[in-house]
Amino acid sequence: MTSLPFDPDDEALRCLVEALTESGQAVSIFDAEDHLRYANKTYQGMFLGDYDGPLTFDGIIRHAHRNGLGVRIDDGDVEAFLARTRGRRRSVHRKSFETDLLDGRWFWIDHTVLPNGWVLSVGADITALKKNEKSLRQAHEAALKASRTDQLTGLPNRRHILGLLDEALAAHEGTGSVLCVAVIDIDRFKAINDSYGHEAGDAVLEHFARTCRERVRAQDHLGRTGGEEFLLLLPDVGIEGAVRIVDRIRDGFPSAVLGHGELELPCTFSAGVTEALPDDDRSSILRRADRALYAAKAAGRNQTRIGLEAKR
């Protein structure tokens, strides 16, 4: 299958076929009845192996699928793949597309239907380009995540959590959905830093963030807004339910264990909770929550207060 009929005296044609045969591109020609009439070495390695027939398009794809060759079929259903592909093979005069192989390579295919109904396919290996594309995409995603994440706790940073708050308020305004927020502050955190140093303070922040993240609902968003202060977004729950969630976080909150267990620091927090009102914006809802937080601290800390006053 590595030759085509040609005049043996036609040196140019002979050189062309030899070049195609040795080319790193995958070249194949199927006739109007979808019988393979030519395949160079690259195409044979991709689809045929030691296969000797029948050399029809369907037969080749089935053989390749059985033997771990050829294109990746995501659902593993080779017959469904063939049914989808048959109708498209000659639907347009020319088309180009990318496809991935079971061996991990990617090819860019130029698919041409000739006037006599024969099909010429030329595939170029673009694996290196796809790897570069994947690396760039991963680097972009990593940079985007870093720009949104608090480095110490792994939580959304101030900018990101406030952006999520804006989105939640827009959804609340547009759909009438219920939304509550809680501003949370670790009690007497400055004393921890002053007494045990900033490394101990960082350990307490990490411990606090990790424990809170384990205790909130899947749909909630917890972010660090700075220092020892955190913002918790509680969608689809009213004020009483929001207070229960915050108190459940507080209930039995474990001490932060430092070093190899030689130091345990009780970890308590105060919280101010409020429910979004019509036409609330970021400033107004946080103002109410902050006032409630100050009230919780003034009342002795380690408790929750509700901000209910009207928006100003």
pLDDT in tens, 238-262: 999 999 999 999 999 999 998 777 7
Question: In the predicted model, what is the mean pLDDT of residues 125-135?
Answer: 91
Per-residue pLDDT band at 39 (split at 50, 70, 90) = very high
Per-residue pLDDT band at 36 (split at 50, 70, 90) = very high
Res 13: pLDDT: 65
Q: How far, CA to CA in Å, does 6 sit from each of 15, 17, 25, 42, 288?
A: 11, 9, 22, 21, 86
Question: In the predicted model, what is the mean pLDDT of residues 74-91?
Answer: 92
Res 22: pLDDT: 75
Res 241: pLDDT: 96
Res 309: pLDDT: 65
What residue ranges do the domains of the chain occupy?
A: 11-130, 149-307
Question: In the predicted model, what is the mean pLDDT of residues 158-187?
Answer: 95
Res 242: pLDDT: 97
Across the chain, mean pLDDT equals 91
Query: Cα angle at 267 between 263 and 273, to 5 degrees?
Result: 170
Q: What is the distance between the alpha carbons of residues 62 and 273, in angstroms, rounded to a whole number?
A: 62
Question: In the predicted model, what is the mean pLDDT of residues 9-18?
Answer: 69
- Relative to beta strand 106-113, strand 269-275 is unpaired
pTM of the model as a whole: 0.62
Res 162: pLDDT: 97
The active-site residue out of 228, 229, 262, 264 is 228
Active site residue 228: yes
Fold annotation for 11-130: Beta-Lactamase (3.30.450)
Per-residue pLDDT band at 53 (split at 50, 70, 90) = confident
Bridge partners (DSSP) listed for residue 264: 257
83 or 24, which is more confident: 83
- The answer to whether the CB of 236 falls within 8 A of the CB of 303 is no
Per-residue pLDDT at 4 exceeds 50: no
Per-residue pLDDT band at 311 (split at 50, 70, 90) = very low
149-307 architecture in CATH?
Answer: 2-Layer Sandwich (3.30)
Q: What is the distance between the alpha carbons of residues 29 and 20, in angstroms, rounded to a whole number?
A: 12
Q: What is the distance between the alpha carbons of residues 292 and 43, in angstroms, rounded to a whole number?
A: 71
- Relative to beta strand 229-235, strand 221-226 is antiparallel
Give the DSSP per-residue string, 248-278: HHHTTPPPEEETTTTEEE---EEEEEEE--T
